[in-house]
Structures are given as structure tokens and as C-alpha cells.
Amino acid sequence: MKKLFSYSSPTVSLYYKKFSIPDLDRCQLPLESTALSFTHANNTLIISYKKPKEIITLEQELLGELKKLKGTSEGDIDCKTQ
């Protein structure tokens, strides 16, 4: 018997986008799947991630350090370019 036609199923191409979360990369923390949530609205996939306690603590410490710094008041400043 001769084979007249050959049929191969089309390959399924999966398209995906890999996202990185800079805060997790910076603190070298793993991604926790329990902190992920997915919703779909207006033809858009919305992916949310709840911040780990370590990152929240780090942000609070950084904010405290920034509040300690003295800021310059707005207005005229001396310019010594002459």
C-alpha cells in the first residue's frame, strides 16, 4: 500500500512572557506561588503578587533612613559659578 498523503498535527506553540520582580531579585527571595493571584478584566490578564514581609520591612527601614536626612528648603541658593 502506498502512502499518498501524510498528515502531521500542527505543533502547539505556547507564547509566554517571563517577568522578573526586581524586589525579589534584589533580596534573593524565591517566588511563592501562594502569593500570586490572577484575574481577567477587559481582555487583560492581571497578575498580582503580595509582597513578602522581608521586602515590606526593608522598605520601612529605607523610608525611615530617608526621613532622617535633612532636605534643602526651596528657594534661592548660593551659586558660586562666578
Q: Which pLDDT tens digit goes with each residue over 42-54? A: 888 888 888 899 9
d(CA 63, CA 41): 34
Determine if residue 62 is left, alpha or beta; phi over 0 gives left, psi from -120 to 50 gives alpha, anything else beta: alpha
**For residue 49, what pLDDT is reported?**
87
Is the pLDDT at 41 greater than 80? The verdict is yes
53 three-state secondary structure? helix
pTM for the complete prediction?
A: 0.56
Contact 55, 29 (CB under 8 A): yes
Is the pLDDT assigned to residue 32 strictly greater than 60? yes
Q: Is residue 72, in this structure, part of any structural domain at all? A: no
pLDDT given for residue 11 in this prediction = 65
54 found inside a domain? yes
For the beta carbon of residue 21, count every other beta carbon within 10 angstroms.
13
Q: What's the domain range around 58?
A: 22-63
Number of domains in the chain: 1
